[in-house]
Chains A and B, each alone.
Chain A
Amino acid sequence: MLPVVETQVLIAIGLAAIATYSLRLGGLLLASRFPKAGRFRRGMDALPGALLFSLVVPGLVAEGLWGLCAGLLTALVVWRSKNTLAAMLAGMLVIYLARLA
């Protein structure tokens, strides 16, 4: 038997879903009005890396020196091996050990 879903849960999830989907589709549809070369293109090329870097920096800094070590080791492993999972586990191992100590 299915659990009952409350109306306000449906509204909360529905609004969150509309917001998220509008941003995804809006970005895709508006992009075709953006210029394809020159400065704008250079900006768009730099954007994915800059965005991901911005996403991780506070998380690394929050862990202090060990966080920076974990970040460097993760980067080194993925650079040498091209293996994202191994790189992730290496970074997590550093934090696991740091928290044991």
Chain B
Amino acid sequence: MRSELLNGAKANIPMAASATAYGSVLGVLASQKGLTWLDMMLMNTAVFAGAAQFVMVDMWAGDLPVIEIALAVLVINLRYLLIGASLEPLFKGHGLIHKMGLIHLVADENWAVTIAEQRKRKVRSWFLLGGGILLYVTWSFGTVVGLVGGGLITHPEKYALDFAFTAVFTALAVGLWQGKRDILPWLVAGSLSLLAHQFLPGKWYIVIGGLGGMMTAMLGNTEDGDKEALEGGTDVAGC
């Protein structure tokens, strides 16, 4: 358990670096909205979801629009339903308490790293938690430093800090590429994402693109499907 926690933390070090940078940007924004460090830490601990926290801080006002914030967070985080579902093989054989305890510290970063690692070897759920703890600590550190440092980084976009998120997720997506059977699903996902980003508010494009890609893969012809089902079978045996 301990070595798997450490493995997970080590594998997430690059993600942690970008989470710190990204977190410091959120902290700077939060300082302008008048959040205290304790408000920030409560949010980091209870919500622990980067994109959602950015929107929460963006919507922050003297008289808090509580319901609107909750709905916005629900929409942005809809993808966690899919992320949670994709982690089911990792938690196979574990009880409800174990699942309830470990699922909270799942972010895009340690999820993607764990899925990628799972394709190479048998991974235990502690690997996911190790990454989650590291991300929680570094993300919180980044946000609080940004908050306290406040005006020190006046123009984060000048240093392309706002692009850190896009860059790190691009790198992660490349790591999840499954070969040519992904060409069509990714084309559909990317096109739907652009359309939804253009015409729909908020973060719907993530969920719509992802579901479109998933459905494209499901509609592929059955001959390939049989072959891939067999490959899938060995994956299951490997887990």
User: Is there contact, CB below 8 Å, between A56 and B173?
Assistant: yes
User: Is there contact, CB below 8 Å, between B197 and A53?
Assistant: no
Size of the chain A interface, CB-CB below 8 angstroms = 75
B210 in the interface, Cβ–Cβ < 8 Å?
yes
Q: Is the interface of A mostly helix, strand, loop or mixed?
A: helix
User: Is there contact, CB below 8 Å, between B112 and A52?
Assistant: yes
B26 in the interface, Cβ–Cβ < 8 Å?
no
User: Is there contact, CB below 8 Å, between A84 and B171?
Assistant: yes
B160 in the interface, Cβ–Cβ < 8 Å?
yes
Given the complex, which residues of B lie within 8 Å of A63, measured CB to CB?
Answer: 163, 166
CB-nearest residue of chain A to B70: A15
**How large, as a class, is the contact surface on chain B?**
35 or more
Query: A56-83: which have CB < 8 Å to B?
Result: 56-61, 63, 67, 70-71, 74-75, 77-79, 83
User: Is there contact, CB below 8 Å, between B100 and A25?
Assistant: yes
The docked-state distance in angstroms from the alpha carbon of A31 to that of B108 is: 18
Given contacts A58-B193, A74-B167, contact A23 B77 (CB under 8 A): yes
Q: Mark A22-61, 1 if CB is under 8 A from B, else 0.
A: 0111111111101011111111111111111111111111
User: Is there contact, CB below 8 Å, between A53 and B38?
Assistant: no
Given the complex, which residues of A lie within 8 Å of B164, measured CB to CB?
Answer: 88, 92
Given the complex, which residues of B lie within 8 Å of A60, measured CB to CB?
Answer: 166, 170
User: Is there contact, CB below 8 Å, between B160 and A17?
Assistant: no
Given the complex, which residues of A lie within 8 Å of B160, measured CB to CB?
Answer: 92-93, 95-96, 99
User: Is there contact, CB below 8 Å, between A88 and B52?
Assistant: no
Query: B80-95: which have CB < 8 Å to A?
Result: 80-88, 91
User: Is there contact, CB below 8 Å, between A55 and B169?
Assistant: yes
The docked-state distance in angstroms from the alpha carbon of A49 to that of B63 is: 39
A–B pairs, 10, beta carbons within 8 Å: A27-B87, A29-B84, A31-B88, A45-B217, A47-B214, A52-B108, A54-B212, A55-B206, A63-B166, A96-B159
Given known contacts A19-B73, A56-B170, A92-B159, what 7 new A-B pairs fall within 8 Å (CB)? A13-B47, A27-B84, A31-B88, A37-B232, A45-B228, A50-B186, A57-B194
- Give the 9 A-B CB pairs with smallest separation, nearest first: A50-B213, A27-B84, A54-B209, A51-B210, A91-B167, A46-B217, A31-B88, A59-B166, A85-B14
